[in-house]
Amino acid sequence: MDHSEMLGRFVVEAGDHLASLEADLIDLRTGGPDPARLHRLFRAVHSVKGTAGFFGLTAVIGLAHVMESVLALLRDGKMESSPALVHDLLAATDKLRLMVADPGQSETVSSGAERAVLQGLLRHEPAVTVARPAPDVPANLNAFKLDAELIRNALGQGHHLYIVQLHLQADIEAAGQTPLHYLREAAELGTLIDTALDLGSVGGLDDTAPADLVCSILFATAMESDLVVGTFGIPAGQLTPVETAFLEDWLVCQPTLEHKQPVLEQVSAPDTRFKPEEMVRVPVSLIETLSSLVGDLARGRDELVRLTDGTTADAALGAAIGQLDAITTGLQTTVAHVRCQPVGTLFGRYPRVVYELGQKLGKEIRLETVGDEIEVTRPLIEGLADPLAHLIRNSADHGLESPAERQKQGKLAGGTIQLRASLDAGFVRIEIRDDGRGMDLGRIAGKAVEKGLISPAEAAAMTPAEIRRLIFAPGFSTATEITDISGRGYGMDVVKTNVGRLGGEVDVESEPGRGTTIIIRLPAQPPGAKPEAPGHPAVAA
């Protein structure tokens, strides 16, 4: 992997970390100091900083470091979360995002204000002296001499620690290198804290088939494990990450330690949401090309079956066609799955939107998502992005009451917007629910008459459902004030049009005082898309 590839990978991975960071910061504001969330927050910034260190991105490192310091205080219970703190961390996250999006220009992104604000918070934090018994050293570290200074420095730079097992012949000699050259190269990529050679595996001189000497290295580096494996050219099984949590505890117990700054970083609790080592990133265009080729293959198969009329006297040809059919169907199924993404990737775009809306509108808004795991095709994800954003803005602006109004009605001051996905007989159903004031049917009908969309007689004859659907009429709006949030009166029409382009329908349910639900029902496959193979979750009947 060359430098530009690694940098490209950093951009993608840092983007993921920052997305996770943003979502967790917003949850922190509404959900409180959940330890797992605080660990994830810390870990996200820590990872960005660590890899940025590998590439020498000093602006990223500087900003990430101060964020990390604040998050460490939060994590360790030495600082309390507040809406203002979340706001400051989000502002810093925005700057980090700008920096990592274009690492070459990261130094030109101004982040002085964000850093100053966060550093101001750190200055008020007293140093804390911690006294506790030294933790037991894990068995796999017993062979090493743990140098506190080296480890502290490495962790202070955001580095990860690994135990790397090197087989002198299988890994080093096979790479055409001498041990010294190999170790020197490793030393340029991180810090060799200690080594351990398994001498017991080697017999005496009369051993004509001597065992391959195994050298274990305690290695600190900014690189993530997959990069270490690739750089060392070793199987993944020969790399063992060292729990930073242990190292932090261990360092605290070293007699010479006395930090004013939180030098140590702790690895968060395992995040089981996905396993990076089991995933691979490929460009969407490549998947679309693959999908297209599979479609062509399927058409070729169909043509072949048609030409042979589905039967042939030639047994070998019949068997070959049968095999081709099975393989093609398997490919279709696999590609259909590859082309899908969990709808959570779409829902994950809105926590920040909702947070900003709440800030602007002076409302407390909680975003809930249900059915994140439902898989839909990428065109649906992209096609729904704008309509959902508009519907969320509408719910926040028009649906949810102000905190005072809600409390007057005996509701919680904070409102909830829920995004819910489900599968329904080959259709994907997306609901945008709010627990706000609900729709005022009289007002909607009056507005429609006033705007000349319907006559008073038509309004009188309409069912409640028909009146509710008037909000999707072009030019309809009940908002008395046009805002930059949601209101010029054409949004719901555009939503309906865009959903229609995806082959879907939109409907609305509402109950006065209880809230409103917009329902989008879409075929799992948008119009014009090649049919997916049966059995896929998004198209299952």
Partner 1 sequence: MQTQFHNNALRLVFPGDILSTNVAELRVALLGHLGAYPMAGGVIADLGLSNLIDSQGLNLLVALFRECERRQVTFRVENPVPDIQRLFTALKLAERFGLTPAPTPVLAAT
Q: Give the binding site for partner 1 (CB under 8 A).
A: 168-169, 172-173, 178-180, 183-184, 187-188, 192, 194-197, 199, 202-207, 210, 212-213, 215
Q: Pick the closer one to partner 1 by CB: 171 or 401.
A: 171
Nearest-approach distance from CB 197 to partner 1, in angstroms: 5
Q: Pick the closer one to partner 1 by CB: 101 or 192.
A: 192
Nearest-approach distance from CB 244 to partner 1, in angstroms: 24
Nearest-approach distance from CB 204 to partner 1, in angstroms: 4
Nearest-approach distance from CB 380 to partner 1, in angstroms: 52
Q: Pick the closer one to partner 1 by CB: 205 or 315.
A: 205
Instruction: With both helix axes pointing from N to C terminus, report the angle between 378-394 and 491-501 in degrees, rounded to the nearest 10.
Output: 160
Q: Pick the closer one to partner 1 by CB: 122 or 150.
A: 150
Cα–Cα distance list, 122 to 41, 51, 79, 116, 460 (Å): 17, 24, 9, 10, 64
Q: Pick the closer one to partner 1 by CB: 214 or 346.
A: 214
SS3 content of the chain, % helix, strand, coil (to 5): 55, 15, 35
Q: Pick the closer one to partner 1 by CB: 181 or 408.
A: 181
CA distance 197 to 211: 13
Nearest-approach distance from CB 192 to partner 1, in angstroms: 6
Q: Pick the closer one to partner 1 by CB: 211 or 257.
A: 211
Q: Is 142 exposed, middle or buried (0-12, 13-18, 19+ CB in 10 A)?
A: exposed
Nearest-approach distance from CB 174 to partner 1, in angstroms: 9
Give one DSSP letter per residue of 75-130, joined into a string. Answer: HTTSS---HHHHHHHHHHHHHHHHHHHSGGGGGGS--HHHHHHHHHHHHTPPP---
Nearest-approach distance from CB 156 to partner 1, in angstroms: 20
CA distance 32 to 45: 19
Lookup: tokens for 453: 């969309």
DSSP 455: -
Coil, strand or helix: which one is 72?
A: helix
CA distance 126 to 200: 50
Q: Pick the closer one to partner 1 by CB: 166 or 294.
A: 166
CA distance 333 to 535: 7
Nearest-approach distance from CB 416 to partner 1, in angstroms: 57
CA distance 399 to 222: 47
Nearest-approach distance from CB 211 to partner 1, in angstroms: 8
Lookup: tokens for 21: 């960071």
CA distance 324 to 410: 65
Please report where in the chains the tokens 């969330």 appear, as a residue: 37
Q: Pick the closer one to partner 1 by CB: 219 or 350.
A: 219
Instruction: With both helix axes pointing from N to C terminus, report the angle between 83-101 and 58-75 in degrees, rounded to the nearest 10.
Output: 150
